[in-house]
Amino acid sequence: MLRNRHGKPYFTEAEFVDLNTLKRLQAKGLKAWNLFDPGLLFSVDNLRHYLGKPFIINNYSYGGDRKWSGYRSMYCLEGAVDSQHRLGRAVDFVPVGITADEVREIILKDPWNPKWKYITCLEMTRKGKSIPWVHMDTRNWDKINNGILQLNL
């Protein structure tokens, strides 16, 4: 993963998986990253680096209530049963210092930018309102012919 100017990775495993999953993996000597599509991790990391703004994903490890913003295990009762989150292909993040709309706009303006070329889907609106976090995923979708799938839920 990419590192910030202090030499630290931008993200911790806890920001991508809930605590039970993290502990289960650690007990087996595994990393949370093993659960994810490499194209998703590549894109989150590179987008974070490019924008130079923090992303809030799971924040339980520092006192917040978000724990299903990355991977959703079989024990997660939130979201759709067939969500891309359950396949390790989706992430939800709240960008700090830039709006979710602005981030989506940057991605959609340049969908094949090498930094986020693996992104195939963005959630745009929910019940007609723009979503205040960025959901992006790397689902199997014909981006070459159809562009990034923009979901209005």
Residues in the site for Zn ion, rule: CB under 5 A? 92, 135
CB of 94 or CB of 98, closer to Zn ion: 94
Going 24 to 29 to 31 to 37, the CA torsion angle's sign is negative
Question: Minimum distance from CB of 90 to Zn ion (Å)?
Answer: 5
Buried b (16+ CB within 10 A) or exposed e, 83-102: bbbbbbbbbbbbbeeeebee
Question: Minimum distance from CB of 131 to Zn ion (Å)?
Answer: 9
CB of 85 or CB of 143, closer to Zn ion: 85
- Tokens matching residue 81: 């049963």
CB of 23 or CB of 126, closer to Zn ion: 126
Tokens 């019940």 correspond to: 127
CB of 135 or CB of 143, closer to Zn ion: 135
Question: Minimum distance from CB of 125 to Zn ion (Å)?
Answer: 13
Ramachandran bin of 69, using left for φ above 0, alpha for ψ from -120 to 50, beta for the remaining angles? alpha
Question: Minimum distance from CB of 105 to Zn ion (Å)?
Answer: 18
